[in-house]
Structure 1
Amino acid sequence: MTSSAPASTIRPGAWAGGMFASLGIIAGLKFSGAIEPPAIYLLLIIPLVLSVQFYRSMQRSADNCGASSPAIKRYNRGIALASLAYVLGMGIAVAIWERTELTDGLVFLISLLPAIPTFAMIWVMGRYLTDEQDEYLRHRSIMASLAGLGLVLALGTFYGFLEMFGLVPHVWAWWILPIWAIGMGLFQYWQSWRSDR
């Protein structure tokens, strides 16, 4: 497959691979000290764009194998908008926090910038489960959500013990949502891949 292939022919795994690779490169650059905010937040646009392409590709794949519905399309739109608001909120909140002396009340308010889109994501997910009329599609979504939750519980527990014994640095709790979403997305991809075979 050439790099000039139209987006419709690129499989979801390629988009997911690009998304995770770009996140890994950004994390490596950040932890090595090669980049600092706001460059980090500008570079996060790359995996965000790749994630949109991943979801579009997943939607095309779902349409092709009959695993789509109007509820899924509303869900994908809602998640895409909430994810964009989350990344923008995070970037704005961190930029304000690092450049301005704020009172505790103002810090609380800027913490809401990335938190409110997170609440919106949770609401979109819950709404999808109540709107979806197809029991099979609802079951697939529930299983993907449980897989993401399982990943969070397993990694969180293991990492927590490593942190307790001083082997790894502390990780902020806001990482729970991205890890859960990654687990859910990987399981959704695996389900789609299995149904295509």
Structure 2
Amino acid sequence: MSSCVARNAAQRRYNRDVLWLSAAYALLLLAVTYLFRHAAITGVPAVMLAVLPALPIIGVFAAIARYLIEERDEYLRMLTVRQTLVASGFALSIATIWGFLESFGVAGHVDAYFVAVLWFAGLGLGTCVNRVIEARA
């Protein structure tokens, strides 16, 4: 979402959801990392535990979708759509380039979850793009 200040119910709900999902992510990541380092976890329990930190990140994606559905201001919705398109293009472009570099032995392996990290960084880039475009108008 392009604005830090919540002005309406959809923005307040989005901000609240992202805050608690971010906290859940941090807690789950710490707990799961601790468990994998200090316990011999294998099989189905290992898979289930390994997936846990991904769930809040998926929740953030859902929170953005919910915000886009609930936002009644078409201008604010358009800014958020543009921001998410920039983020998607950025993350997918970097992941594609890195994939080819890795395939041809020019770069080392990077874990796939970094695509989400790139996407979140792309949201910041999308905010900058929005500001540049809006400053021109």
**TM bracket (short chain):** 0.7 to 0.9
Pairwise CA distance, 1:143: 0.7
Matched to 2:51, the amino acid is L
Are the equivalent residues in 1 in contact too, given 2:82–2:130 (CA < 8 A)? Answer: no
Which of the numbers 44, 66, 77 marks the counterpart of 1:105? Answer: 44
Q: Which residue of 2 aligns with 1:133?
A: 72
The CA distance in 1 between the partners of 2:101 and 2:8, in whole Å, is 43
Aligned match of 2:103 = 164
- Report the counterpart of residue 62 of structure 2 in structure 1: 123
Residue identity in the other structure for 1:173 = A
2:85 counterpart residue number: 146
% identical aligned pairs: 30
Count of aligned residue pairs for this structure pair: 135
* 2:23 alignment partner, one of 54, 71, 84: 84
Write out per-residue CA displacement over residues 13-54 of structure 1, whole angstroms, 9 at most, x where no aligned residue.
Answer: xxxxxxxxxxxxxxxxxxxxxxxxxxxxxxxxxxxxxxxxxx
Q: Deviations over 1:90-109 (max 9, x none)?
A: 22112211221112111112
Task: Give the SS at the match of 1:59.
Answer: coil
Letter in structure 1 aligned against 2:40: E
- Secondary structure (helix, strand or coil) at the match of 2:53 reads helix
**How far has the Cα of 1:185 moved from its partner?**
2.1
Runs of 4+, deviation exceeding 3 Å: 192-197
In structure 2, stretches of 5+ residues that fail to align are none
Residue 177 in structure 1 maps to residue 122 in structure 2: no
Structure 1, unaligned runs of 5 or more: 1-54
Stretch deviating more after TM superposition (68-77 or 94-103) = 68-77
In structure 2, what is the equivalent of residue 40 of structure 1?
none
| Distance in structure 1 (CA, Å) of the matches to 2:115 and 2:27 | 18
Indicate conservation of the 8 Å contact 2:92/2:115, yes or no: no
Structure ranking higher on relative contact order (CA contacts 8 Å, 6+ apart): 2
